[in-house]
């Protein structure tokens, strides 16, 4: 027979999946849940810890827990977070900051981040590996309101998405992605140990909060043969758009 906290965890999962607690909203407080299920707060905490470790709800102690994902939306967090994605597949992700510095925003930064050109932004260059092989060069630009939290993240931190949530409660809610192929530049080639001009899959992305505030924009370059992106569409619903470069 399942322990009581396991039963409560399962009921909460089902309530989230039904939309009773929608993604982006909050769960009732621990004491409210304890009253509803007629159990101790310790039992509620065990149930909540299970959902936290699954990435379904936020991990901030004390606060009402934010619902981060349900069965359908889980893949958004996993798409944004290389580390969470790798873990969900049972693989090992590594991440390492090569270089980061603040600099004035260019016109492109200003447009993508909805800030003023010349304002400080934080630029971060990371490499990421999967099961020990380097597969990805990530170039992120963060606006000032995110920069300090990013600067507090250890250089070998696995999940930036998780760290930003734990530190300042940022939830990555919307993404716009542009996918193409390019030849490796000198820096790409050195970082990934491939030849210059070799094929890379590039994903340029802007991610925003629920309120539409840009959190970052990024340029991810994957070594050819490492990952692919899949999408299903239909005559009634097409999200994939082809553009001339």
Residues 227/219, Cβ–Cβ less than 8 Å: no
Cα–Cα distance between 162 and 136 in angstroms, integer?
Answer: 19
Nearest to 16 by CA among 3, 33, 31: 33
**Listed ranges 40-48, 65-73, 116-124, 146-154: which one lies at the site for a second copy (CB under 8 A):** 65-73
Q: Is 73 in the site for a second copy (CB under 8 A)?
A: yes
Q: Residue 128 to residues 22, 23, 135, 160: CA-CA distances in angstroms? A: 32, 28, 6, 12
Q: Is 87 in the site for a second copy (CB under 8 A)?
A: no
Size of the site for a second copy (CB under 8 A): 75
Q: Tell me how far, at minimum, the Cβ of 35 lies from a second copy, in Å.
A: 20
**Listed ranges 31-39, 67-75, 121-129, 145-153: which one lies at the site for a second copy (CB under 8 A):** 67-75
Q: Tell me how far, at minimum, the Cβ of 1 lies from a second copy, in Å.
A: 27
Cα–Cα distance between 56 and 48 in angstroms, integer?
Answer: 10
Residues 163/177, Cβ–Cβ less than 8 Å: no
**Listed ranges 61-69, 119-127, 141-149, 154-162: which one lies at the site for a second copy (CB under 8 A):** 61-69
Residues 180/168, Cβ–Cβ less than 8 Å: no
Phi, psi angle pair for 101, to nearest 5° = -155, 155
**Listed ranges 38-46, 52-60, 153-161, 162-170: which one lies at the site for a second copy (CB under 8 A):** 52-60
x-marked contacts with a second copy along 150-169 as a string, rule CB under 8 A: --------------------
**Three-class DSSP category at 23:** coil
The only residue of 172, 188, 215, 218 in contact with a second copy, by rule CB under 8 A:
172
Find the binding residues for a second copy in span 95-124 (CB under 8 A): 114
Find the binding residues for a second copy in span 185-244 (CB under 8 A): 197-202, 206, 208, 210-214, 222, 224-244
């Amino acid at each position: 027979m399942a322990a009581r906290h396991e039963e409560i965890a399962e009921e909460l999962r089902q309530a989230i999946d039904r939309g009773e607690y929608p993604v982006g909203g909050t769960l009732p407080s621990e004491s409210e849940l304890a009253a509803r299920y007629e159990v101790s707060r310790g039992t509620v905490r065990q149930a909540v810890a299970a959902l936290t470790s699954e990435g379904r709800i936020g991990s901030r102690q004390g606060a009402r827990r934010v619902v981060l994902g349900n069965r359908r939306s889980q893949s958004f967090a996993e798409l944004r977070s290389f580390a969470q994605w790798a873990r969900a597949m049972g693989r090992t992700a590594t991440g390492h900051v090569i270089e980061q510095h603040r600099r004035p925003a260019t016109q492109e930064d200003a447009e993508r981040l909805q800030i003023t050109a010349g304002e400080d932004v934080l630029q971060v260059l990371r490499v990421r590996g999967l099961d020990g092989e380097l597969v990805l060069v990530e170039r992120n630009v963060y606006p000032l309101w995110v920069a300090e939290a990013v600067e507090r993240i250890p250089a070998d931190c696995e999940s930036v998405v998780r760290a930003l949530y734990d530190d300042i409660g940022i939830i990555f809610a919307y993404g716009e992605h542009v996918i193409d192929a390019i030849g490796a530049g000198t820096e790409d080639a050195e970082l990934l140990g491939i030849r210059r001009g070799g094929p890379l899959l590039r994903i340029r992305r802007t991610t925003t909060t629920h309120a539409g505030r840009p959190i970052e924009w990024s340029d991810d370059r994957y070594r050819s043969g490492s990952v692919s992106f899949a999408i299903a569409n239909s005559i009634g619903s097409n999200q994939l758009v082809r553009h001339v470069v």
